Chain A
């Protein structure tokens, strides 16, 4: 069964303090790995898709990378507005392409 594990569960950073969030996965054949951002009380917002090991995607202060077993979301010089829960999901290798979500990392960036 496909599994997605995110760490840490929660992370507190000072503004400008760079760090990384981890998403490890076990799938029989990766069809895609997805990062979402979720603000409290809101629906998730799509950030990135990664398909193969070595691939990288960037958006403002965020960069997502992918290896054969895990993905990292690097946050460079974060700002308080980057505070949110970041969700990772993998596309299950079945007839219907279903997403399997991790439990997320809650990021708090203090000014």
Chain B
């Protein structure tokens, strides 16, 4: 079955540590996205990539980094520079830059 796989589902981090969230898709989609979801707020775009080896900052990119070395993979690193990293992180993909997104199951990061 085609879909998006995020891992890990739950992650705990100490302050000052970098963590990397994995996102893999087998839908053959060109575009991939990372969103952050916090209680009471809409999904906010962190980074997006429309093609391999290219990515752009979204609305809240500070303290995050990404890479897009393969079409299938779009990992997100939450760095120690991110001041409030505890959140639910969602990876998504689409055929193009359209609004019909396919989402993964999400990764919940908690900073201790």
Chain B residue, CB-CB nearest to A6: B42
Q: Is the CB of B99 within 8 A of A32?
A: yes
Interchain CB contact (< 8 A) of B42 among A4, A96, A98:
A4
Please state if B42 and A102 are interface contacts (CB–CB under 8 Å).
yes
Q: Does A97 contact B98, Cβ atoms closer than 8 Å?
A: yes
Verify if A45 is at the interface (C-beta below 8 Å from B).
yes
B56 on the interface (CB 8 Å rule)? yes
B92 interface residue, CB < 8 Å from A? Answer: yes
In the complex, A101 has a CB within 8 A of chain B: yes
Whole-angstrom distance from the CB of B76 to the nearest CB of chain A?
Answer: 14
Collect the chain A residues with CB atoms within 8 Å of residue B103's CB.
43-45
Q: Is the CB of A44 within 8 A of B90?
A: yes
Give B59 Cβ to nearest chain A Cβ, in Å.
8
Size category, B interface = 20 to 34
A79 vs chain B, min Cβ distance (A)? 23
Bound Cα distance A4, B58 (Å): 18
Question: Which residues of chain A have C-beta atoms less than 8 A from B43's C-beta?
Answer: 44, 87, 89, 99, 101
Inside 8 A of A104's CB, which chain B residues have their CB?
42
For the A-B complex with A43-B4, A46-B100, A87-B43 known, give 10 more contacts whose Cβ atoms are closer than 8 Å. Answer: A34-B99, A42-B105, A43-B6, A43-B90, A46-B102, A49-B100, A91-B98, A96-B50, A101-B42, A103-B42
Spell out B's residues near A (CB within 8 Å): 4, 6, 40-45, 48, 50, 56, 58, 90, 92, 97-106, 108
**A binding-site residues for B, Cβ under 8 Å:** 4, 31-32, 34, 41-46, 49, 87, 89, 91, 96-104
Q: List 13 A-B contacts (CB under 8 A).
A: A4-B42, A32-B98, A34-B100, A43-B106, A46-B101, A46-B102, A87-B43, A91-B99, A96-B50, A96-B56, A97-B98, A99-B99, A103-B41
